[in-house]
Amino acid sequence: MGVNEHYIKVENTAHYVSLGELNRGTKEIWIVCHGYGQLAKFFIRKFKILQKEGVHIVAPQGFHKFYLKGFSGRVGASWMTKENRDDEITDHCNFLEQLSDHLINSASKNCKINVLGFSQGAATISRWCLKTKYSVNTFVLWAGKIASDFDFDKYKSKHPNTNNYIIFGTRDQFYPVKTIKEYKTEMKELDATWISYDGDHSIHSDTLHTINTLGH
CA 51, CA 57: separation in Å to the nearest integer?
A: 8
Distances in whole angstroms, Cα of residue 50 to Cα of each of 13, 81, 144, 168, 205? 28, 31, 21, 19, 9
In this prediction, residue 9 carries a pLDDT of 86
CATH code given to domain 16-214: 3.40.50.1820
In this prediction, residue 215 carries a pLDDT of 63
CA 216, CA 206: separation in Å to the nearest integer?
A: 16
Domain positions in the chain are 16-214
CA 118, CA 35: separation in Å to the nearest integer?
A: 5
In this prediction, residue 136 carries a pLDDT of 97
Partners of 193 in the β-ladder: 165
In this prediction, residue 120 carries a pLDDT of 96
Size (the chain), residues: 216
CA 66, CA 6: separation in Å to the nearest integer?
A: 24
pTM: 0.94
Q: In the 8-state DSSP scheme, what is residue 176?
A: -
Instruction: Indicate the angle between helix axes 85-106 and 121-131, nearest 10 degrees.
Output: 70
Q: In the 8-state DSSP scheme, what is residue 178?
A: H
* DSSP letter string, 59-117: EE--SEEEESSTTSS-EEEES--STTHHHHHHHHHHHHHHHHHHHHHHS-TT-EEEEEE
CA dihedral 165, 166, 170, 171 (to 10 degrees): 120
In this prediction, residue 81 carries a pLDDT of 84
Q: Output the tens digit of pLDDT for each of the chain's 216 residues.
A: 789 888 888 888 999 999 999 999 999 999 999 999 999 999 999 999 999 999 999 999 999 998 999 999 999 999 988 888 888 999 999 999 999 999 999 999 999 999 999 999 999 999 999 999 999 999 999 999 999 999 999 999 999 999 999 999 999 999 999 999 999 999 999 999 999 999 999 999 999 999 888 765
